[in-house]
Amino acid sequence: MALFQNLSDKINHAFSKLTNRGALTELEIKQAMREVRVALLEADVNYTVAKDFIAKVTEKALGEQILKSLTPGQQVIKVVNEQLCELMGSTQSKLAVASKLPTVIMMCGLQGAGKTTMCGKLALHLKKQGKKVLLVADDIYRPAAINQLEIVAGKSGAGFFQMGQINPTKIAVSGVEFARKNGYDTVIIDTAGRLHINEELMAELENIKKAVEVTETLLVVDAMTGQDAVNVAKSFDEALDITGVIITKLDGDTRGGATLSVKAVTGKPIKFCGVGEKMEDLEPFHPDRMASRILGMGDVLTLIEKAQSAIDEEEAKKMAKKLKEASFDLNDFLEQYDKVAQMGNINDLVSMIPGANKLKLGSATIDESQIKRNKCIIQSMTAEERSNPKVLNYSRRKRIAAGSGTTVQDVNKLIKQYEQTKDMMKRFGKSKRLPF
Amino acid sequence: MGFFKKIIEGLRKTKQAIGFKLNELFKRGIFDDEFYEELEFILLGADVGSETTENIIEELRERMRRDNVSDTAKAREYLKQILLDILGEEQFEAECPAVVMVSGVNGVGKTTTIGKLANIFVKQKKSVLIAAADTFRAAAGEQLEVWAKRANVRIIKHEEGSDPAAVVFDAVSSAKSRGTDIVLVDTAGRLHNKKNLMEELKKINRVIDREFPEAQRYNLIVLDATTGQNAVSQVDIFNEAIDIDGIVLTKLDGTAKGGVVLTIKDTMDIPVYFVGVGEGIDDLLPFDANSYVEGIL
Ligand SMILES: Nc1nc2c(ncn2[C@@H]2O[C@H](COP(=O)(O)OP(=O)(O)OP(=O)(O)O)[C@@H](O)[C@H]2O)c(=O)[nH]1
Ligand SMILES: [Mg+2]
């Protein structure tokens, strides 16, 4: 069951024998933190960053009262998640605008991080906000980098400026000058990828910053980066005092722990994420989503919270009892549908289930109209049929289909679903918790 | 020259940055918790990954217990040996005619590696043809053309947006009629979780197999040393699609060490053949496990 091989399961498993209700104890937290540590390391969070984070969370969690609705495991996850979200910062997908136009955005980062493509994405994004954007080709080293930016400019509807392979500072100065004269309000400078330890090339960026008034210095970081992310981010920030970070290639299956590392060592906001090769594939940064991605557990916490608010504990107990007595009938099934409806958009919920990210699910998302149809079907049944679905023979099914404006196949499908749910709940019933 | 010096140079800087003290650690003379914790720090910091790190340390304890080692200076040799045992000694040797296809995720250094490989083979007096099968990324063909010129080899290139399989078909036909020794195929960067792009890669692979059955086939995946644990997933899925023979580990001239290749070799038995240590045409070297391990420790 790969779907449940995530951090929250592991922690819940570690806690399965504990029924402690008061406050979280040191031992409990220590056990859980062992799992959290491994999860962070597997996600490529830097070793030192992970260590600091765990120390902080442990302190925070110690003595924390366990909410009535949560298990100790869930409580720990809640604290971990909250702290992680806090560390990630807020959604700050705004780019500063210079008081004296044009606004100048300088992109920087290691080789192959995705700067050139990101220039186009930002240009398109800004263009949609009514800006007139000029892309300046300042990568004079990589073969065909200038051609690449020119094509990207064309695709994103931005202006393009190049001077061939001459001194990059000169190009930047002339580019900004060109923008001013030609009515561009925003300039994006694409610089060559470089290693953070290459002093000569780092000095080159510093020189550009001295020569033109840069409004935003954005560090572009590949989401797949490992432990070295801290060294890279620290060096670039120290040399250039970056104003923000962009994470690229998040459409891959990486857990993206580098995001946390970069944020931890620079403290600078993460502004955008790249999620594909097309110019439109740009998203604002969502700290909560990133946090659960790093922990490898989907948006479990929101799910826990939503489930808890929709179904109080008393009701959950009642349901569990019914399952034990095997009296879970179509009335209960209908009630479940209502609860689910209360919890909000079904597809949002599905995306919160660990491991069930939209990419992997593909077309397997849930059709809300189908839920409405199923409710209609159940409502067309007699009280007897609802409490004892076994009596549903063909002629009854035909009648129900006619009454609910559906087909017999629809009715069959619903009954099958009911059987499966009953089965599934029976399996989870042992834990007296909902099957999340 | 080369590999050793460049790596040591890069690592020296990292070592300073993280207050590196492995040598002192081994000199300290006691195997306490702190010793193993520091060791863990070094391995994890090199992107070796938590599971492999744990296994390595377990193995070290085991071997030292077995041989009754109490001298910490000796422990370093033991550790080195464990890493060498994992990495093995495999060299890349192309039997001609050969088709070497280079693939990997976006931006890892595929195109640059093709240019460097061409240069290596030219120096071995082989005739080389480059196939520009990245028809997707903006200006990918132009970029490769520059490299072909630098290495002084022929290139087959179609228009941007055309079918990459057709490029490969043309290249193979040309190589067959001219008796070319080695065809190097550059492919577009693709994330391994994109099904349609992986299918496209499989198709290119099939075309080579079908059109040039007499050629030796080598599929290399390029990994960026800066990449963390996701590299495991990359190699796993590319390997499933097209059977990967070996790895080119690029950007080792930075401070990252690409220790994830230990996990990959250990679990999938896919060796590292080459390492990239810079952006120049000569900055591709055969992988030398000894220097690499020296670099990590
Ligand atoms: N420092 C360093 N840079 C490298 C190395 N290999 C490649 N690069 C740089 O990494 C960047 C990306 O290299 P490419 O060869 O274009 O990568 P690619 O995999 O072909 O990229 P896509 O085709 O866009 O997926 C370029 O700026 C290269 O100069 C290396 O060993 N060391
Ligand atoms: Mg390329």
Q: Give the model confidence (pLDDT) of B10-59 as tens digits.
A: 444 444 443 345 666 666 667 778 888 888 999 999 999 999 999 999 99
pLDDT at B207: 97
The domains of chain A are located at: 7-88, 103-287, 300-431
- Give contacts of B188 with chain A, Cβ < 8 Å: none
Which atom of ligand 1 lies closest to the CA of B186? Answer: 20
β-pairing verdict for B284-286 and B272-276:
antiparallel
- In the stretch 226-255 of chain B, residues with CB closer than 8 A to chain A read 226-231, 233, 251, 253-255
Q: Across residues B72-95, what is the average pLDDT?
A: 91
| Residue of higher predicted confidence among B5 and A387 | A387
Which atom of ligand 1 lies closest to the CA of B112? Answer: 15
pLDDT at A142 over 50: yes
Split at pLDDT 50, 70, 90, the class of A67 is confident
Q: Which two tokens stand for residue A128?
A: 């949609």
Q: Across residues A326-337, what is the average pLDDT?
A: 74
Q: Which of A24-33, B15-24, B113-122 has the lowest mean pLDDT?
A: B15-24
CB atoms within 10 A of CB B159: 8
- The domains of chain B, with CATH numbers, are 1-297 (3.40.50.300)
Would you give the end-to-end CA distance of chain B in angstroms? 19
- Residues 6 or more apart whose CB falls under 8 angstroms from that of A10 comprise A35, A39
For A300-431, CATH number out of 1.10.599.10, 1.10.8.80, 1.10.260.30, 2.170.190.11 equals 1.10.260.30
* Distances from the Cα of A71 to the Cα of A54, A312, B24, B25, angstroms: 20, 14, 46, 43
Q: Which of A20-29, A373-382, B216-225 has the lowest mean pLDDT?
A: A20-29
Which of the listed residues B112, B146, B247, B277 should we mutate to test ligand 1's pocket, taking the one with most ligand atoms within 8 A of CB?
Answer: B112
Report the run of H or E that residue A76 belongs to, with start and end: helix A72-88
pLDDT at A13: 66
Residues B99/B215, Cβ–Cβ less than 8 Å? yes
Q: In whole angstroms, give the CA distance from residue B183 to residue B155.
A: 9
Write down the pTM of the prediction: 0.80
Cβ-defined contact of A151 to B253 (cutoff 8 Å):
no
Residues A268/B245, Cβ–Cβ less than 8 Å? no
The overall average pLDDT reported for chain B is 90
Q: In Å, how far is B44's CA from the nearest CA of chain A?
A: 7
pLDDT at A73: 75
Query: Which among A135, A195, A227 is the top mutation candidate for probing chain B, defined by the most B β-carbons within 10 Å of its own β-carbon?
Result: A227
Ligand 1 neighbourhood includes B140 CB (under 6 angstroms): yes
| Residue of higher predicted confidence among A48 and A304 | A48
| CATH architecture entry for A7-88 | Up-down Bundle (1.20)
Q: In whole angstroms, give the CA distance from residue A172 to residue A137.
A: 8
Out of A151, A226, A252, closest to residue B139 by CB: A151
Length of chain A: 436
| CATH architecture entry for A103-287 | 3-Layer(aba) Sandwich (3.40)
Which atom of ligand 1 lies closest to the CA of B104? Answer: 19
Cβ-defined contact of A42 to B229 (cutoff 8 Å):
yes
Residues A381/A330, Cβ–Cβ less than 8 Å? yes
Split at pLDDT 50, 70, 90, the class of B101 is very high
Q: Which of A3-7, B90-94, B212-216 has the lowest mean pLDDT?
A: A3-7
CB atoms within 10 A of CB A170: 13
Q: Is A183 helix (H, G, I), strand (E, B) or coil?
A: coil
Q: In whole angstroms, give the CA distance from residue B122 to residue A136.
A: 37
* Distances from the Cα of A37 to the Cα of A32, A228, A355, angstroms: 9, 18, 19
| Residue of higher predicted confidence among A99 and A327 | A99
Hey, CA dihedral for B267, B272, B277, B279, is it positive or negative? Answer: negative
